[in-house]
Every structure is written in structure tokens, then in C-alpha cells.
Amino acid sequence: MFTTKKISDTHKRLLSKLRSIGLSEVICTWIENWLQDRVQRVVVNGTFSTWNKVLSGVSQGSVLGPLLFNLFINDLGEGIMSNVSVFADDTKLCRPVNSIQDVTSLQQDLDQLAIWAAKWQMRFNVDKCKVMHLGCKNMQATYTLNGTALGKSIMEKDLGVLVDNKLGCSKQCQAAAARANKVLSCIKRGIDLREEGVILPLYRALVRPHLEYAVQFWSPVLKRDIIELKRVQRRATKLVKGMESLSYEERLAKLGLFTLEKRRLRGDMITMYKYIRGSYNNLSNVLFTSRSFQRTRGHPLRLEEGRFHLNIRKGFFTVRAVKLWNSLPESVMLADTLYNFKKGLDGFLASEGIQGYGR
């Protein structure tokens, strides 16, 4: 995992790259004028610094800033054989390492990154660059960037999700539950009205999102993690006036809420639909393998169910969701819109009494 430092290029380098990717001279001239003659200063406790010219980078908080940065780093992965993932100023290199040759190849990719950074006057923050070794048979090799050995990490936060070197989700579940409980405590202390029309919207808008952010990636598998998240919703439903003496299941029915397990399962199916039929379908062939139509009595949207020995692998979205997806009725799977798919899915889950995986 790599984090870049502030761009130290001149505006001329940025403009040369914009021209090289085919932007018209009119647009490049406009951007050049937008970048020129900008000044900035710092205010601390009401005291102003002197004005200084902005000679590199782009204006903070501008609409064009992120776009220009993405265009500037667009060729970062050229010549690199490992898988490269880039989001804003965070970059990840991933590859299987099964031999000394694989170690050498990964190091060569790191060297290529350093060459790119030197060419475009970018700097990687080596202190924040880490290596995470996955797998019990990993060679645990040491890698360098610009001659500096990269530190090893057993857990990192990737786009807000905690990922450890065993690919477990327990730490993420604990963190999500802690954030949700903190907000719920604020609601409990700060809101006197305990009516359903007050508590329920606050729970849906401020608490539950913490339990479901990117949950398709880290959906809990272990019972203790499932219970950890469930406790938050149990606690939230008890805040509603008149619900204190009811069981958890009765409270959910009265309030019209799904269990969190059912919401995760439903979210998996909606995400599957987007991959197979909707806006993400250009990635479906990368993540899933379609069944041969000749070998199935169903429709051509059924997927191959992989076989894996490790329980941790069975919990991955691309594995756990396939069996339920294949069990959906054809009328649901072939829905022409996401809205119609959701309607059909809810009807199917209700009719089958499905509350979560394995039930």
C-alpha cells in the first residue's frame, strides 16, 4: 500500500501530460489560465501569513482538482506486471508470490513505480508505504522503495475498511459496531422524544450506515461477529417508546425492519444483479464464471459455484452469494430494472422465509 506526498511538479509538467493524452489546445489553454497567478496564505488565530504563489498542484477544494490529479497519475501502472489499484493518492500492488522469481518481479514493479515518480516529480511517503503478506506459506520477503525497506503490516484501513493479513473481518465488525454504538448513545442522550417517527429515521440515517458500509466486502461469517452487529439494532429498537417489553423479533415486525442478516443477504443479491445485469456488468466476467447453458435446465444467468477448502474463502462475496443467486426464480433474475428486481427479490425472500445465509 502506497501513499503519495503532495505533488511537487510544476504546472508545465501537468499541462504537458494533458496535451499528451489528447486534450484540445483550447481546453489546455483554459486550464493553464485557471492555474496561473493563483496565490494562497494561512490564517492562524486570526493572524494572516503573507501571500505566496501556487507553483505546483491545484487549488484545494476545487472541482477540477481531483480530476486533474487522476489524469496526472493515469499512466502510473504502465510497465507494471502486478495488479495495480489506485484510488486518489492511495496505490496498491498485488500479486501471488510463490517463488524467488515472483519476489524479484514484485521488486521490479516497485522499482518501476520509483522511476515513474522520479520522472514526474512525485514522491511516495515511504513511512506510510507498507507490505502486507497474505497466506501461511508466504515467503515474507523484504521489499524496498527508493532503497528504503518497506515496513510490514498485519492490518491496514483500506478505504475505510479494516483488512488484516488473515483476511478476517472481526476487527472491522468491532470497529463498525463501536462507531454505530457511539452515535446511538448520542441519540439516546440528546433526544427526549422516543416516538417511532423520531428514533427510526435517526437510526436509519445515522446508525445503520456504520453497520453496512462496504459490507459486501467484509460481511461477517463468525457467529460472534454477527451477534456483535445485531446488538446495535437490538439496542436501537428498544429505544422506541412502547417497544421495551417486546421481543427483538416482535420489535422488528412492529417497526417494519429486516434483520441485519437479511439486509446483508438482500444487499448481496442486489449487488449481484448489478454485476450480472446492471451497471457493473463489464466486471462480471472477471469475478464470476457463467454455467454452460447446455448443462443446466435453468436460464443462462446461473453461475458456477466454486469449491474451496478454506472457510475464510467461502465467506467472500464472490463465493457466498452464488448459491442463493442460482436459486432465484427466473422471473426475478431476468427483471428488466433494478426496481423490479428488488420487488421480486423481496417477494421471494418472504415466501421462502429466508433470513440469512444457511437459513
pLDDT tens-digit profile of 183-228? 999 999 999 999 999 999 999 999 999 999 999 999 999 999 999 9
Instruction: Give me the phi and psi of 48, to 5 degrees please.
Output: -100, 140
Chain mean position to CA 346: 25
Residue with cell 522520479: 118
7, pLDDT greater than 50: no
d(CA 301, CA 333): 8
Angle, alpha carbons 253-254-257 (nearest 5°): 55
Report, as an integer, the average pLDDT of 325-347. 92
User: Per-residue b/e over 52-65, b at no fewer than 16 CB within 10 Å?
Assistant: eeeeebbeeeeeee
3-state DSSP percent of the chain in helix, strand and coil, to 5? 50, 10, 40
What pLDDT does residue 299 have?
65
pTM of the model: 0.81
Q: What is the model's pLDDT at position 352?
A: 76
pLDDT at 163: 92
- Residue 201: which H helix or E strand, with range? helix 196-202
On the question of pLDDT at 359 being above 50, the answer is: no
How remote is the C-alpha of 294 from its chain's centroid? 36
Q: Is the pLDDT of residue 156 over 90?
A: yes
Residues 297-334: tens digit of each pLDDT: 556 788 888 787 777 888 899 899 999 999 899 899 88
**What pairing do the DSSP bridges indicate for beta strands 151-152 and 130-131?**
parallel
Q: Chain centroid to CA 169: how far?
A: 14
Average pLDDT value for the chain = 88
Task: For 221-263, write each residue's pLDDT tens digit.
Answer: 999 999 999 999 999 999 999 998 999 999 999 999 999 999 9
Q: Which residue has the cell 469449491?
A: 307
Q: What is the pLDDT of residue 358?
A: 55
Distance CA 299, CA 18 (A): 47
